[in-house]
């Protein structure tokens, strides 16, 4: 895939110590990252832990940008904020980068781990049982 080659190049640059801004597609990270409108700034995958947004090669077939839900030994479980059920799995070595900032349409950079975002993402996790309804309203009103 052509997009995988672009992401491979971004990963190589991150590995070499460069900051890389990568456009986001899809809706799997709603409401915290809006695909098609926003980008993320990627950094090397240091100090991986629950709650970080990671760019990972999952199940040996594709890249995803999702939040780390769990790390058990070498195994990582990821889930997009905009997902209501689906999870992806990879190893620690398959996590290629972490997103540190989101860049909006006016090119302003926002820390993905600012205190209010951490609280909001924790609350969002606990809203998983009703997330489907909140996302439906969000898509109709906001998007």
Q: Which is higher by pLDDT, 6 or 53?
A: 53
Q: What is the 3-state secondary structure (H, E, C) of 65-119?
A: EEEEEEEECCEEEEECCCCCCCCEEEEHHHEEEEEEEEECCCCCEEECCCHHHHH
Mapped onto helix, strand or coil, the DSSP state of residue 63 is strand
So what's the pLDDT on residue 57? 96
- What is the extent of the structural domain holding 81? 2-141
Please give the DSSP secondary-structure letter assigned to residue 12.
H
Contact 76, 38 (CB under 8 A): no
CA-closest candidate to residue 88, choices 74, 69, 73, 116: 69
**Two tokens, residue 77:** 């479980």
Per-residue pLDDT of 48-104, as tens digits, reads 999 999 999 998 789 999 999 999 999 999 999 999 988 999 999 999 999 999 999
Question: Structural domain tally of the chain?
Answer: 1
Identify which of 105, 116, 139, 140 has the alpha carbon closest to the alpha carbon of residue 28. 139
| Domain containing residue 15: CATH number | 2.10.109.10
Tokens of 143: 């998007």
Supply the pTM of this predicted model.
0.92
């Amino acid at each position: 895939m052509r997009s995988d080659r672009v992401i491979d190049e971004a990963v190589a640059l991150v590995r070499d110590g460069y900051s890389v801004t990568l456009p986001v597609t899809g809706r799997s990270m709603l409401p915290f990252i809006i695909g098609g409108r926003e980008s993320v700034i990627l950094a090397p995958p240091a100090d991986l832990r629950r709650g970080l947004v990671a760019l990972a090669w999952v199940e040996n077939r594709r890249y995803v940008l999702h939040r780390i839900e769990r790390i058990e030994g070498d195994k990582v479980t990821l889930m997009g904020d905009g997902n209501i059920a689906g999870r992806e799995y990879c190893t620690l070595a398959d996590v290629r980068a972490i997103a540190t900032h989101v860049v909006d349409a006016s090119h302003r950079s926002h820390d993905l781990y600012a205190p209010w975002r951490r609280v909001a993402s924790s609350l969002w996790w606990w809203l998983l049982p009703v997330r489907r309804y909140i996302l439906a309203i969000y898509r109709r009103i906001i998007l």
